Chains A and B, each alone.
Chain A
Amino acid sequence: MDSRITQFDELAGADGRTRAPYRKLSQWLAETPPELLASRREQAELLFRRIGITFAVYGAQEATERLIPFDILPRILARSEWATLEKGLIQRVAALNAFLADIYGAGEILRAGIVPADLVYRNPAYCPDMAGRRVPYDIYVHIAGVDIVRTDDQGFFVLEDNARTPSGVSYMLENREVMMRLFPELFALHRVAPIENYPDELLATLRSVAPPRANGDPTIVLMTPGQYNSAFYEHSFLADKLGVELVEGRDLFVRDDVVYMRTTEGPRRVDVIYRRIDDDFLDPLCFRPDSALGVAGLMGAYQAGNVTLANAVGAGAADDKAMYTYMPDIIRFYLGEAPLLQNVPTFRCREAEALTYVLDHLDELVVKEVNGSGGYGMLVGPHAAKAQIEEFRAKLKAHPQNFIAQPTLALSTCPIAMANGVAPRHVDLRPFVLQGANGARVVPGGLTRVAMTEKSLVVNSSQGGGTKDTWVIDDAWVGEEPMGQA
């Protein structure tokens, strides 16, 4: 993959002819005066300020809370494109789950020599306390946020699997709400698949994995590290949408391996915890002893089967960037199927040959820390200063096993509405995959993240990226046939 190949624009296509899913939007844009777009942009900004969606940015000097930039033009996928993606996502998450059940169970994939044992057992996210335990319904990954990119109209690449506590779904929901208020006329022109049912689907997923004693009427809570967490807004938003209590560690306690929530009417037994807090902080008796965010004894209750945690403890062992490189083999091993979504070709710097190549091509590659996230600790070779490249060269030589490298992908672009007109910007997509005892599903869409700066490839909100509403629309334009002929 050459970084100099022609950019694929999702509206204009490779050849400059408007792609089918964007035809109506393109026409609408041509007919809409620029002043109208400008005023809608202002309205959008006002709406978001009123709603109060902010995002805490680590490492920023002053403002710790920012409004995430929102772009008013939807990113559009055809139903047929989505169908492929959806199947691939469900396949991927099924494989992640099977892998976790295996590495905490029989370890067959290690014995088969497909994944090196040291990569699992030395992985900081591998949780020894989970070994030999079964989790309710054998489900480890209840909620996954899989980062997807495309480079042409053929297929999708998975950039990252997020199987711990993926965030961003509140933006997906808010973006849609704001768009429906701003552009009723666009929704009238398109048949946009609904995503508003996400909280219901999430709730159904969480209910499905409750311990049997809950008798179909489990008490579910959402556990947050607290208001200083960068995603606190999302935690409170989701708790509200789900209709469950938002709790912190101090609101819960454990007695005789049962978790209770303190309420004004006395202790109430808790069955399912949707936790948005990292493994390390869950239980000071098992993990970090200095954690004031967790609940002492929680792991005991979990292992006794009296409470379900979503996602499962130790799920991060499947989603680190080193494990990522084995995903195609992992899918084949457990499911006996060919992967439907491609992996970005990746150099494992722990392997001597790959390291030599990477060191020789640092100016062309993207280098990532195996355990990093959020775009921190990452080198984008083609856009990096000499000093930064040398800094990474030193890091790579010192700890090659901590890094992977990938070719710089020519990420697809989508149009965004700027003050002075419409311009293409790079995008990715994070769909949210739910997996419960009631099956797996993905609401049609996800969070499209967009690099607001021209030519930038970094879409993370912590690095100044923005978001867009993502539409999956019916392919009604195919031959202009009437719908629903079957």
Chain B
Amino acid sequence: MRIRIRHETTYRYAEPPRTAVQHLRLSPRNHDGQHVVDWRIDVDRDCRLVQSEDAFGNTLHRFSVDGPIESISTVVEGEVTTFDMTGVVSGAVERFPPILYMRETPLTTPSAAIGDFARETTSKESGTLAKLHALLGAIHESLTFDAAATHSATTAAECFEHRKGVCQDFSHLFIACARGIGAPARYVSGYFLSSDGDDQVAGHAWAEAYVEDLGWVGFDPTHGVAPQENHVRVAVALDYLGAAPIRGAHSGGAGETLDVKVRVARAAAFSQSQSQSQSQ
């Protein structure tokens, strides 16, 4: 499937900061399940965009700008061709052995309740893959999607307590459970083409877990499915913090507001829907 993506992020400041630094993980890489046809990245400030590779093999862009900064807007846009690999991720850049992805992080530390949940959910299954699928189903069933219930620093334990959250929380919970039953697991940030094709307010996130003899396998607990053709994989890490599309810091200034517009559509339909939205 050929998917076109446009993702615009704008930070505005009521009181302009003196300087700002940002790290962007907004550029997908190729693997057997996706091919990046074209991709560009634009920052609307006068700055030098330095590209490098981060610890996990993600493409990282970083820049610093001098103020006064009233706003910073970053746009990425491009096309990716995806193939259905039934969730198996092969041919991706791997910088660490799977065991590294057993590390606990503050966002994914399992509470006692999560540990019990993971054990109970998987006790009747044999084999890692079956256990992971049981977790995928159980998390999808037991959590309610609620964008107002959590924020970007919510931990898996907090989310599990309230049984509410967004894709980030679903993924953190899945990761905590998977590591809890001994399967290395990681966070994936990316894009999701929904069937209705509406504008989205954020990118998507899911998880990958390592299964012996099969390799890394994707699990999307928000939708309760394995990632398919409509998932575009951008960055992986131990948790959200390591894969976050944008991490920034500024000195001075105050009153930051964030505005995100994400459009994901089939390439053929993209320009049409865009022109429609522009004419509205």
* Chain A interface (Cβ < 8 Å from any Cβ of B): 117-118, 121-122, 124, 128-132, 250, 253-257, 284-286, 289-290, 296-297, 300, 303-304
A280 to chain B, nearest CB (A): 10
B97 at the A/B interface (Cβ < 8 Å)? yes
A255's contact among B23, B55, B64, B153, by CB below 8 Å, is which? B64
Cα(A78)–Cα(B55), bound, Å: 48
B98 to chain A, nearest CB (A): 9
Residues of the A chain whose Cβ atoms lie less than 8 Å from the Cβ of B102? 118, 121-122
5 A-B pairs with the lowest CB-CB distances in the bound complex, closest first:
A296-B249, A128-B55, A121-B100, A297-B21, A296-B21
B52 at the A/B interface (Cβ < 8 Å)? yes
Residues of the A chain whose Cβ atoms lie less than 8 Å from the Cβ of B97? 117, 121
Please determine whether A129 and B55 come into contact, CB atoms closer than 8 angstroms. Answer: yes
B62's contact among A117, A130, A290, A297, by CB below 8 Å, is which? A297
B263 to chain A, nearest CB (A): 27
Residues of the B chain whose Cβ atoms lie less than 8 Å from the Cβ of A124? 103
Cα(A117)–Cα(B21), bound, Å: 35
Give the contacts of B130-144 with A (CB-CB under 8 A): none
Residues of the B chain whose Cβ atoms lie less than 8 Å from the Cβ of A303? 52
A253's contact among B19, B103, B247, by CB below 8 Å, is which? B19
Please determine whether A285 and B55 come into contact, CB atoms closer than 8 angstroms. Answer: no
Please determine whether A285 and B23 come into contact, CB atoms closer than 8 angstroms. Answer: yes
Cα(A117)–Cα(B56), bound, Å: 17
Please determine whether B21 and A254 come into contact, CB atoms closer than 8 angstroms. Answer: yes
Please determine whether B241 and A255 come into contact, CB atoms closer than 8 angstroms. Answer: no
Please determine whether A117 and B96 come into contact, CB atoms closer than 8 angstroms. Answer: no
Please determine whether B251 and A253 come into contact, CB atoms closer than 8 angstroms. Answer: yes
Please determine whether A132 and B247 come into contact, CB atoms closer than 8 angstroms. Answer: no
Q: A118-B102, A255-B64 are in contact. Are A128 and B56 (CB under 8 A)?
A: yes
Residues of the A chain whose Cβ atoms lie less than 8 Å from the Cβ of B66? 255
Closest to B152 in A: A289
Please determine whether A256 and B64 come into contact, CB atoms closer than 8 angstroms. Answer: yes
Please determine whether B103 and A122 come into contact, CB atoms closer than 8 angstroms. Answer: yes
Cα(A256)–Cα(B248), bound, Å: 14
Please determine whether B50 and A257 come into contact, CB atoms closer than 8 angstroms. Answer: yes
A256's contact among B48, B55, B56, B103, by CB below 8 Å, is which? B48
B95 at the A/B interface (Cβ < 8 Å)? yes
Give the contacts of B5-64 with A (CB-CB under 8 A): 19, 21, 23, 48, 50, 52, 54-56, 62, 64
A284's contact among B62, B238, B249, by CB below 8 Å, is which? B249
A346 to chain B, nearest CB (A): 23
Please determine whether A297 and B64 come into contact, CB atoms closer than 8 angstroms. Answer: yes
Q: A122-B103, A255-B64, A296-B21 are in contact. Are A129 and B54 (CB under 8 A)?
A: yes
Please determine whether B248 and A132 come into contact, CB atoms closer than 8 angstroms. Answer: no
Please determine whether B96 and A121 come into contact, CB atoms closer than 8 angstroms. Answer: yes
Residues of the A chain whose Cβ atoms lie less than 8 Å from the Cβ of B62? 257, 297, 300
Cα(A297)–Cα(B241), bound, Å: 15
B202-246 to A contact mask, C-beta < 8 Å, 1/0: 000000000000000000000000000000000000100100000
B120-134 to A contact mask, C-beta < 8 Å, 1/0: 000000000000000
B100's contact among A128, A285, A300, by CB below 8 Å, is which? A128
Q: Which of A128, A130, A286 has the most CB of B within 10 A?
A: A128
Closest to A107 in B: B97
Cα(A128)–Cα(B55), bound, Å: 6
Residues of the A chain whose Cβ atoms lie less than 8 Å from the Cβ of B249? 284-285, 296-297
Please determine whether A254 and B99 come into contact, CB atoms closer than 8 angstroms. Answer: no
| A-B residue pairs in contact (CB < 8 Å), sample of 12 | A121-B99, A121-B102, A122-B100, A131-B55, A131-B95, A253-B19, A256-B48, A286-B23, A289-B241, A297-B62, A297-B249, A300-B21
Residues of the A chain whose Cβ atoms lie less than 8 Å from the Cβ of B248? 285, 296
Cα(A122)–Cα(B103), bound, Å: 5
Residues of the A chain whose Cβ atoms lie less than 8 Å from the Cβ of B100? 121-122, 128
Residues of the B chain whose Cβ atoms lie less than 8 Å from the Cβ of A286? 23
Cα(A477)–Cα(B52), bound, Å: 62
B258 to chain A, nearest CB (A): 15
Residues of the A chain whose Cβ atoms lie less than 8 Å from the Cβ of B96? 121, 128, 131
Cα(A257)–Cα(B21), bound, Å: 10
Closest to A130 in B: B55
Please determine whether A121 and B103 come into contact, CB atoms closer than 8 angstroms. Answer: yes
Closest to B101 in A: A121
Cα(A130)–Cα(B100), bound, Å: 13
Q: Which of B52, B64, B97, B102 has the most CB of A within 10 A?
A: B64
Closest to A133 in B: B55
Q: Which of B21, B62, B99, B102 has the most CB of A within 10 A?
A: B21
Residues of the A chain whose Cβ atoms lie less than 8 Å from the Cβ of B19? 253, 255
Residues of the A chain whose Cβ atoms lie less than 8 Å from the Cβ of B251? 250, 253, 296
Closest to A116 in B: B99
Cα(A122)–Cα(B96), bound, Å: 12
Residues of the B chain whose Cβ atoms lie less than 8 Å from the Cβ of A289? 153, 241, 247
Cα(A250)–Cα(B238), bound, Å: 28
Task: Known pairs A121-B100, A253-B251, A256-B48; list 17 more (Cβ under 8 Å).
Answer: A117-B97, A118-B102, A121-B102, A121-B103, A124-B103, A128-B100, A128-B238, A131-B55, A132-B55, A256-B64, A289-B241, A296-B21, A296-B251, A297-B62, A297-B64, A300-B23, A304-B50
Cα(A395)–Cα(B96), bound, Å: 31
Cα(A117)–Cα(B96), bound, Å: 11
Please determine whether A122 and B21 come into contact, CB atoms closer than 8 angstroms. Answer: no
Cα(A117)–Cα(B102), bound, Å: 12
Give the contacts of B82-109 with A (CB-CB under 8 A): 95-97, 99-100, 102-103
